[in-house]
Amino acid sequence: MKIAFKTLSYGFYAELNDIPIAAEIGRFLPLESRIEIEDGNICVPFSVVNINIAGAANINQRDVLWCPQKKCLSIYIRPESWDSSKDTDFYKNCPVIGKTLASIEELRQLCAEDEVNISVVEELKAFNRILSQGDIDTLVSQLLNRAG
């Protein structure tokens, strides 16, 4: 599932993994909130979800996390990767649920207290063509002849 983060001056997308927690979060979108900067990372309070699952062993830049202790979506932008065997901060219980498609430089443009809207991006469905190109050309020609 693809989601969009939109502020007044900036927007970006994230691709969520095909896992139950991501689907559960998607059920509560769209959502309006304010950005917080927590330990150098972007956090968006999201208090409607109350799901606890195992955290990630490793977290890399641009990963989207669900942080149950803080009840927020977080985007990891610190330069160093996080490793559960070395670090003990609150990311220990945060599963990686996706990855943003934005660059680190773009993400650093976001500021604490920016209002943000998060919504699911609807994918365009493929459709079956009923008329052939020849049929369309004939109809256009007939319309042009009537008008002219």
Total of domains in the chain = 1
Per-residue pLDDT of the chain (148 residues; tens, 9 = 90+): 999 999 998 899 999 999 888 888 888 899 999 999 887 789 898 776 666 566 666 788 899 988 887 888 889 887 766 655 555 566 777 888 999 989 988 898 888 999 999 999 987 555 666 777 777 888 888 888 887 6
Question: Residue 73's domain is classified under what CATH number?
Answer: 2.40.100.20
| Per-residue tokens: 49 | 């979800």
The Cα 119–Cα 81 span in angstroms is 27
The Cα 49–Cα 107 span in angstroms is 24
Query: Residue 104: exposed, middle, or buried by beta-carbon count in 10 A (0-12, 13-18, 19+)?
Result: middle
Do you find a cis peptide bond into 30, omega within 30 degrees of 0?
A: yes
The Cα 72–Cα 102 span in angstroms is 19
Domain containing 10 equals 2-147
